[in-house]
Homo-oligomer: A and B are copies of this chain.
């Protein structure tokens, strides 16, 4: 069988499945869920405008005219997009938050996990959770698998380091793992380069895709074909599915996807930024292919799609602390500004149908924009609640379900807060915590003085930055000096949030804990 081209296999599976899917649809009283997670994709890396003007209408910025994401537009047109959706500023923290429903300050995988060695950093919290997720942890796929879902992992895992339990999604509640391993960056996106096997980036070689080695199948395409196969098989079995489709795209290396390269030839952007855009477009094609596949299988009406990025943009378009890569937002992946943690979220039924029983229980308005603050840890309670799967009582969930927000309403019972804790360095920003509460955001820098411990420069501006994101959404005006009472209140909120999450802290040269200080 493996000698047939993948596309034929896929079509065959569709044909075989169609009748059985149609036959079982009356009993399909549990939704399928696809979490479609894009690596290093910020809220501006798309042709779909997420940011809004003062009246709440979507507003286009130049980056929206650079990128091409028609499938995201299709999904946004039939569903709701969030314009204040927050992720952790780097990837493993977000991924483990999706898996556990916990803020990274609680699950303590607060840094990207270096697969090979503990990367706490020279002043990093020694008790952070470098090991990541363990077999015994309560996870979203574990909960869903226990209650009858087929749980499918396709793409990047990065839940734990090499030779630890967390490196293997099958240890963490997934019934199937395609291409997931301990690392984040793929060895290569090119089939011709065997996705990294047998070359100098072999330590990051993407597993399980041998059949495409030597072919011209781009990694995003290979993952899509495999994801479709897994979905087809699950629909045939009659089980509902939870598909966690986590693209390696658009993480570095910025290898140009030849299918889309000519779209950006005349952009005037640097070559690596053009390659980044092709990765975006290839990921977007994958999204469209998945939506088509659900329709072909007859399960689109029963399938909820949650599309999101895992941290701010990594577009190679400027300095990490400037308004550049995620313009008009300040900062990018890893930074303490909004560009580091604001990601796209689109939620929609794969095919809207207002007569569908599941959709009547959770009606998602077409083309809507949700402006309330939400975050990656909210996916866990949203999905467990929607699928009516029980979470072990002693598992702490920090997230709050999004059901009300998904219907386009405001949910006044949700806290309008977001905690982002990064007790590590060196990275693009070091040893910082941010706390959002309503319109205000405070940033605390544990080690603000300029110094060169470990060979990097700390934040130079003092312990505190304070912004009013309503008046100053692009963080240009630090109010820490002029608003001492707000600063104090926000810092107390930040400290309380860290305590509540039982966070760990950076340390000084002697190893003493450095907790945030009030101004």
Whole-angstrom distance between the Cβ of A393 and the nearest chain B Cβ: 12
In the complex, what residues of B have CB within 8 A of residue A400's CB? 412-413
18 A-B Cβ contacts within 8 A?
A381-B412, A400-B412, A400-B413, A413-B414, A415-B415, A437-B500, A488-B499, A489-B499, A489-B500, A492-B492, A492-B495, A492-B496, A492-B499, A493-B496, A493-B499, A493-B500, A495-B496, A496-B496
Measured CA separation A500–B381 after assembly (Å): 26
- Which chain A residues in 469-489 approach chain B with CB under 8 Å? 488-489
In the complex, what residues of B have CB within 8 A of residue A225's CB? none
Given contacts A381-B412, A488-B499, A492-B495, 15 further A-B contacts (CB under 8 A): A397-B412, A400-B412, A400-B413, A401-B412, A413-B413, A413-B414, A415-B415, A489-B499, A489-B500, A492-B496, A492-B499, A493-B496, A493-B499, A496-B496, A496-B497
Size of the chain A interface, CB-CB below 8 angstroms? 22
In the complex, what residues of B have CB within 8 A of residue A411's CB? 413
- Which chain A residues in 378-405 approach chain B with CB under 8 Å? 381, 385, 397, 400-401, 404
Looking at chain A's contact residues, the main secondary structure is helix
Measured CA separation A381–B413 after assembly (Å): 10
In the complex, what residues of B have CB within 8 A of residue A496's CB? 492-493, 495-497
Measured CA separation A493–B437 after assembly (Å): 15
- Which chain A residues in 345-390 approach chain B with CB under 8 Å? 381, 385
Measured CA separation A26–B488 after assembly (Å): 54
Measured CA separation A502–B502 after assembly (Å): 25
In the complex, what residues of B have CB within 8 A of residue A381's CB? 412
Measured CA separation A499–B496 after assembly (Å): 11
Measured CA separation A318–B500 after assembly (Å): 37
Measured CA separation A434–B355 after assembly (Å): 50
Measured CA separation A400–B400 after assembly (Å): 14
For the complex of A and B, list the 3 residue pairs with the smallest distance between their C-beta atoms, beginning with the closest: A496-B496, A400-B413, A489-B499
Measured CA separation A497–B404 after assembly (Å): 26
Measured CA separation A459–B437 after assembly (Å): 35
- Which chain A residues in 198-240 approach chain B with CB under 8 Å? none
Whole-angstrom distance between the Cβ of A410 and the nearest chain B Cβ: 10
Which partner residue on chain B sits nearest A493 by CB separation? B496
Which partner residue on chain B sits nearest A381 by CB separation? B412
Q: Which of A397, A413, A492 neighbours the largest number of chain B CB atoms within 10 Å of its CB? A: A413
Which partner residue on chain B sits nearest A403 by CB separation? B413
Which partner residue on chain B sits nearest A378 by CB separation? B413
In the complex, what residues of B have CB within 8 A of residue A397's CB? 412
Which partner residue on chain B sits nearest A397 by CB separation? B412
Whole-angstrom distance between the Cβ of A515 and the nearest chain B Cβ: 10
Whole-angstrom distance between the Cβ of A28 and the nearest chain B Cβ: 24
Contact with B along A334-350 (1 / 0, CB 8 A): 00000000000000000
Contact with B along A405-433 (1 / 0, CB 8 A): 00000011111000000000000000000
Measured CA separation A494–B499 after assembly (Å): 12
Whole-angstrom distance between the Cβ of A12 and the nearest chain B Cβ: 44
In the complex, what residues of B have CB within 8 A of residue A437's CB? 500
In the complex, what residues of B have CB within 8 A of residue A495's CB? 492, 496
In the complex, what residues of B have CB within 8 A of residue A412's CB? 381, 385, 397, 400-401
Which partner residue on chain B sits nearest A404 by CB separation? B413
Measured CA separation A415–B414 after assembly (Å): 8
In the complex, what residues of B have CB within 8 A of residue A502's CB? 489
In the complex, what residues of B have CB within 8 A of residue A401's CB? 412-413
Whole-angstrom distance between the Cβ of A500 and the nearest chain B Cβ: 7
- Which chain A residues in 431-464 approach chain B with CB under 8 Å? 437
Which partner residue on chain B sits nearest A385 by CB separation? B412
Measured CA separation A512–B437 after assembly (Å): 29
Whole-angstrom distance between the Cβ of A390 and the nearest chain B Cβ: 12
In the complex, what residues of B have CB within 8 A of residue A497's CB? 496
- Which chain A residues in 126-177 approach chain B with CB under 8 Å? none
